[in-house]
Structure 1
Amino acid sequence: HWHGQKPPYRQDGVADRNIPLIAAGESRGYDYLPTPGTHWMHSHGGLQEQALLAAPLIVRSAEDLAADVQEVTVLLHDFSFRQPEEILAGLTGGAGGHDMEGMGGMPGMAGMDHSGMGDNGTAMPMTMDLNDVEYDAFLANDRTLGDPLVVRVERNGRARLRVINGAASSAFWVELGELRGTLLAVDGNPVLPVTGSSFPIAIAQRLDLIVDVPTGAFPILAQVEGKTQRTGFMLASPGAAIAKVADVAPSTAAPVDLSLEARLRALNPIPDRSPDAVLTMELTGSMAPYLWGINDHLWPNVDPPVIRAGQRVVLDMQNRTMMAHPIHLHG
């Protein structure tokens, strides 16, 4: 699947839906007009994405090619020595089968969509379910902070960080430490500049950050929401010593929220126009059983809305669960 691209739907890469699977030993060509930006490609077959079958997919515009900036592309992953099938079995096998860290209330109940009424008729507060799986490591370009990627940047140079969250089920906070960054694009879409030193990145999301790098070595870290675990890489001027950085942070990271989205403004917004249709999509499901749907319909037993070519449609996504769900359009 060419994540972030807009190919004809039969070339979208959804396994065994729009086109048959690629058989062992078979090859297949794809031909479409690429969309510039920071994107990525990954398997859409079974649980293969958890097995790290993914790679960056960078499409450079003419402006990108002319820019006097050093590009650094980083792909984040969550890694387990367990097979993906074993991880899924732990999630679907009942409350005792999955990691309960970051979950509140009774085991197996934190992700459920229900009113949470107590014996006295008052509402019981529910806690977000942040992390279902206990991973063995978190990776930046397949490396941990024990042996991180070190990118040498010329003294007082400028770098464009193309950060891709290719994790199967982990969201991060990208921490620039002593540096300040300017966000120029999200998911390959140019935005009005947003400055800061800490940026949330959800599952499958991409951030383009410009940083000016003085003399020295500077860790760029990605800490998992709701955890102390982190990964990252180093930006360093020539000859700068590289200090060891612990893969455990001093404090737990906050949940990834919508604070960044609230600040985003498209550099090239679509023309203002009233929508022809507003479709409500309720994200539904529960941790026990571990089933998730849209408008209470589970794949493949879905009830797709019908729209017409040329319509402007607003999708009103309402998350009725206590778990975050990454959503993006296919086809």
Structure 2
Amino acid sequence: MAVSSAGLLTACTTSPSDTASTFVAPDGPEVRDAETRRKPGTVRDFTVSATAGTIDLGGLTVATWSYGGHLPGTALRVKAGEVVRATLRNGLPDPSTIHWHGLALRNDADGVPGVTQPDVAAGAEHVYEFTAAHPGTYWFHPHHGTQLDRGLYAPLIVEDPAEPLVYDDEWVVVLDDWLDGVTGTPDEVLAELKQGMAGMGGSSPAGHDMPGMQMSTSPGMAMGKHTSMGAESDLLGGDAGDVKYPHYLINGRLPAAPATYVGKPGTRLRMRIINASGDTAFRVAVGGHRMTVIHTDGFGVEPVETDALLIGMGERYDVLVTLADGVFPLVALAEGKQATALALVRTGPGRAPAAAVRPAELERRVLDSAALTPADETRLPNRPTDRTLRLELTGSMGRYDWAINGKAFDPKAITAIRAGERVKIDYVNTTDMWHPMHLHGHTFAAGSTGVRKDTAIVRPKQTLSTIFDADNPGIWMIHCHNIYHAEAGMMTLLGYQH
């Protein structure tokens, strides 16, 4: 396929037979060769059981789906270079898969049904086997419908055998927005967003302006059982989210019965923070403390102190905190939604803060990845760009027609790249909503600083330029990590040509 003089290549629509002949297969020899180059080490065996049952959120018991009956699921831990061999046992009533979020792994282990593997049917098993080549904070979840917005998620921690950091202890912190088993199911949410918003008359390109409706700008104005309008955030550049959640969780617990880290004063604590939510960015702070940011999405950054962090869906941050003496709140403010999640840090006696506490740090210095600089060892080397792709993020809340380049996801429409290329992707957000864009199987250098990421915030009416090296053959997904935007159509595929 020819490339224009501007370096732009549009998606080519292929039949299944064309795809097989044109693009590297997820289990093809190129994929196997790439895995061999990762020099697989010791094999570590795990079993991940997806089950339907009840979960106690801390005084509130809900019927949901989870990994092993835990929320979050039990973290998997390996050392960089080891091989993860994980058997998914699907005890759910529906098909499912596992996507290993953030890892540059072999394509046939990526967990995208109909693209890299078939569905794992109810009652069936599937073995994922891949080398975890790069240390970092990762996580796993289904890549099937809206299942992510239930309880199906867990951390995957890849430890560095030659860890250069000095710290005393570690705490994995998983953030989530929650409605499953309380006000409905994620499938009901998606149906309401698709049908309910359209039934209210559609929208103009501006997003929330629907003719014939009396609009309000009050935060969190309810438009339906699950739909929230008017959730606004200056940090996100406008609309903050689509869905009205009754609860926000840290490590599966409500603020009334919070998860608690217990340690000693003076402890140098590494916190690995994962946003596993479906529709919510969080502003995170530890009362009475500053955080030193050391990694984002598994890759090192030049250390920088901050009072709070803005974390979009799918993003991860590692921070260091030196703990004071007492009891302190770890608060995750649901950005634009006027509610918080809470956990506690306890290093001594004292009364726990109120469940609705909002420490002053939330309103001080707030960083996101745009303010970070990559560590020298994680910076992409300078070289010319071989190919530029323009991905316009399109759609509106009113029509709920989220898409890329004006087209909803089509698994037969694959944008071609070639192994060895330096690829630039310009995410051009034409909408009034922010989008956390996630690239499977690779990390990219984002924005003007070149910080290494696999998921990054693209604000309304702005463009985020990213660069990555095409060094992991296969067919890979790019999508918004707002689960409802993705399921409405804001997904597309990249494929390595033979």
Length-normalised TM-score, structure 1 = 0.85
Contact 2:167/2:270, CA 8 A, preserved across alignment: no
Measure how far apart 1:87 and its partner are: 0.8
User: Over residues 160-181 of structure 1, what are the superposed CA-to-partner deviations in whole Å (9 max), with x where a residue is unaligned?
Assistant: 1111000001001011221011
Partner Cα distance (2:128, 2:260) in 1: 34
Task: Give the secondary-structure state (helix, strand or coil) at the position aligned to 1:327.
Answer: strand
Contact 1:280/1:318, CA 8 A, preserved across alignment: yes
User: In the alignment, what sits opposite 1:23?
Assistant: 121
Measure how far apart 1:198 and its partner are: 0.8
Measure how far apart 1:65 and its partner are: 9.1
In structure 1, runs of 5+ residues without a counterpart are 111-126
Partner Cα distance (2:187, 2:128) in 1: 29
Partner Cα distance (1:18, 1:291) in 2: 25
Measure how far apart 1:282 and its partner are: 0.6
Question: CA, structure 1 residues 212+274, in 2 after alignment: closer, same or farther (shift >3 Å)?
Answer: same
Q: What letter matches 1:6 in structure 2?
A: A
User: In the alignment, what sits opposite 1:119?
Assistant: none
Tell me which of 126, 133, 152 is aligned to 1:53.
152
User: In the alignment, what sits opposite 2:317?
Assistant: 207
Measure how far apart 1:189 and its partner are: 1.0
Question: CA, structure 1 residues 57+109, in 2 after alignment: closer, same or farther (shift >3 Å)?
Answer: farther
Tell me which of 230, 241, 244 is aligned to 1:134.
244
In structure 2, runs of 5+ residues without a counterpart are 1-98, 201-206, 217-236, 441-475, 477-498
Contact 1:95/1:108, CA 8 A, preserved across alignment: no
Contact 2:106/2:130, CA 8 A, preserved across alignment: yes
User: In the alignment, what sits opposite 1:224?
Assistant: 334
Question: CA, structure 1 residues 59+287, in 2 after alignment: closer, same or farther (shift >3 Å)?
Answer: same
Measure how far apart 1:90 and its partner are: 1.5
Tell me which of 130, 139, 148 is aligned to 1:40.
139
Q: Quick check: 1:275 aligned with 2:410?
A: no
User: In the alignment, what sits opposite 2:373?
Assistant: 265
Q: Quick check: 1:93 aligned with 2:195?
A: yes
Number of residue-to-residue matches in the alignment: 306
User: Over residues 39-87 of structure 1, what are the superposed CA-to-partner deviations in whole Å (9 max), with x where a residue is unaligned?
Assistant: 1000111111111211111111124498442100011111002111111
Partner Cα distance (1:300, 1:277) in 2: 22
Bigger mean CA offset, 50-59 vs 127-136: 127-136
Partner Cα distance (1:157, 1:264) in 2: 25
Partner Cα distance (2:294, 2:197) in 1: 42
User: In the alignment, what sits opposite 1:235?
Assistant: 345
Q: What letter matches 2:350 in structure 1?
A: A
Task: Give the secondary-structure state (helix, strand or coil) at the position aligned to 2:288.
Answer: coil
Measure how far apart 1:10 and its partner are: 1.2
User: In the alignment, what sits opposite 1:160?
Assistant: 270
Partner Cα distance (1:242, 1:13) in 2: 45
Partner Cα distance (2:428, 2:357) in 1: 34
Length-normalised TM-score, structure 2 = 0.58
Partner Cα distance (1:12, 1:90) in 2: 30
Contact 1:41/1:56, CA 8 A, preserved across alignment: yes
User: In the alignment, what sits opposite 1:306?
Assistant: 416
Tell me which of 355, 365, 372 is aligned to 1:246.
355
Measure how far apart 1:108 and its partner are: 10
Partner Cα distance (2:433, 2:276) in 1: 18
Question: CA, structure 1 residues 302+247, in 2 after alignment: closer, same or farther (shift >3 Å)?
Answer: farther
Measure how far apart 1:206 and its partner are: 0.4
Measure how far apart 1:260 and its partner are: 2.4
Q: What letter matches 2:169 in structure 1?
A: Q
Q: What letter matches 1:5 in structure 2?
A: L
Partner Cα distance (2:276, 2:257) in 1: 20
Contact 2:329/2:357, CA 8 A, preserved across alignment: no
Q: What letter matches 1:264 in structure 2?
A: L
Contact 1:104/1:128, CA 8 A, preserved across alignment: no
Question: CA, structure 1 residues 248+96, in 2 after alignment: closer, same or farther (shift >3 Å)?
Answer: farther
Question: CA, structure 1 residues 138+192, in 2 after alignment: closer, same or farther (shift >3 Å)?
Answer: same
Contact 2:169/2:268, CA 8 A, preserved across alignment: yes
Question: CA, structure 1 residues 229+249, in 2 after alignment: closer, same or farther (shift >3 Å)?
Answer: farther
Q: What letter matches 2:372 in structure 1?
A: L
User: In the alignment, what sits opposite 2:176?
Assistant: 77
Measure how far apart 1:25 and its partner are: 2.7
Task: Give the secondary-structure state (helix, strand or coil) at the position aligned to 2:139.
Answer: strand
Partner Cα distance (1:152, 1:243) in 2: 13
Within 5 Å, which residues of 2 pair with 1:282-297? 282-297=392-407
Question: CA, structure 1 residues 13+109, in 2 after alignment: closer, same or farther (shift >3 Å)?
Answer: farther
Question: CA, structure 1 residues 193+228, in 2 after alignment: closer, same or farther (shift >3 Å)?
Answer: same
User: In the alignment, what sits opposite 1:197?
Assistant: 307
RMSD (CA atoms): 2.6
Q: Quick check: 1:8 aligned with 2:116?
A: no
